[in-house]
Structure 1
Amino acid sequence: MTAAVPETLSVVVEREMPFPPEKIWRALTQPHLIEEWLMKADFKPDVGHDFSFRADWGVINCKVLELEPQKSLAYSWDAYTLRSVVTWTLTPTEAGTRLRMEQTGFQSNQPQFYQGAQAGWPKFFANLEQVLGRPE
């Protein structure tokens, strides 16, 4: 008899933003901007780069997995017992850019992480929109 594979869950947040992909890309990849809307980070846009997000509650260990400038970015997101992947996709639209974030890998026995992500990502998106809306 084989053990049942736990179900994995994903959190998706998708929003059309009135900004060009280049501007959103900068906010997703420049550490001083990332800190303003998400957390302090030592991010570099290089595949294979290990980095971390730091908050007062702890550290999230990450690694850049995929990168296609101004189109997509994926990195691992490992905190405590959570092993997940965050993928950003930027799609140009007539009004600006459709930004999609998907965090995959939540185990069904990790409701606190899943619920935290469901509550947290919309707030991060709101913060991101504020940063993007400022004059450069």
Structure 2
Amino acid sequence: MNDTSLHTRTVTVEREFAHPPEKLWRALTQPHLIEAWLMKNDFVPALHHRFKLSADWGAVDCEVLEIEPNRSLSYTWAAMGLDSVVTWTLTPAGAGTHLKMEQTGFQPGQDAAYNGAKYGWNKFTAALDEVLAKLDD
């Protein structure tokens, strides 16, 4: 472990969803559904696929690092000087799913990005819940 990793921060958002992991997986990996709750994108659920997330404020450059259907998805997240990794972990919980999202790699001095991510991911996961409610199982 290098010294910089000791000083990085992580944004973590955890939520319970009343939907099975397979349904959440669709919303995390199908481009038209990702657009409905996160941003426009050219995502493909394939290892090492490079993709962009686009919004009014700019774009995020990403690359898929890990993909385990219905369980976990991890990709790089590079935008406006922030180089981080977003990891989604899905765990069955009764009739639903426990979703954990972690964005790691916030460096000292990146308080605006860190606080923005804390706000943004809570907003995005709330929008994700709305998208899931409209999806057929």
Return the TM-score normalized by structure 2: 0.94
Structure 2 unaligned spans of 5+? none
Partners of 1:84 and 1:39 in 2: CA distance: 17
Shift of 1:116: 0.3
Q: How many residues align?
A: 133
Q: 8 Å contact 1:17–1:95 — kept in the other structure? A: no
Q: State the SS of the aligned residue for 1:119.
A: helix
- Specify the alignment match of 2:43 in structure 1: 43
Q: 8 Å contact 1:42–1:53 — kept in the other structure? A: yes
Percent same amino acid among aligned pairs? Answer: 59
- Specify the alignment match of 2:11 in structure 1: 11
- Specify the alignment match of 1:24 in structure 2: 24
Structure 1 unaligned spans of 5+? none
- Specify the alignment match of 1:113 in structure 2: 113
**RMSD over aligned Cα, in angstroms?**
1.1
Mark the structure with the bigger radius of gyration.
Answer: 1
Shift of 1:135: 4.4
Return the TM-score normalized by structure 1: 0.95
- Residue range with higher mean Cα deviation, 126-135 or 4-13: 4-13
Equivalent positions of 1:43-62 (< 5 A) are 43-62=43-62
Shift of 1:13: 0.3
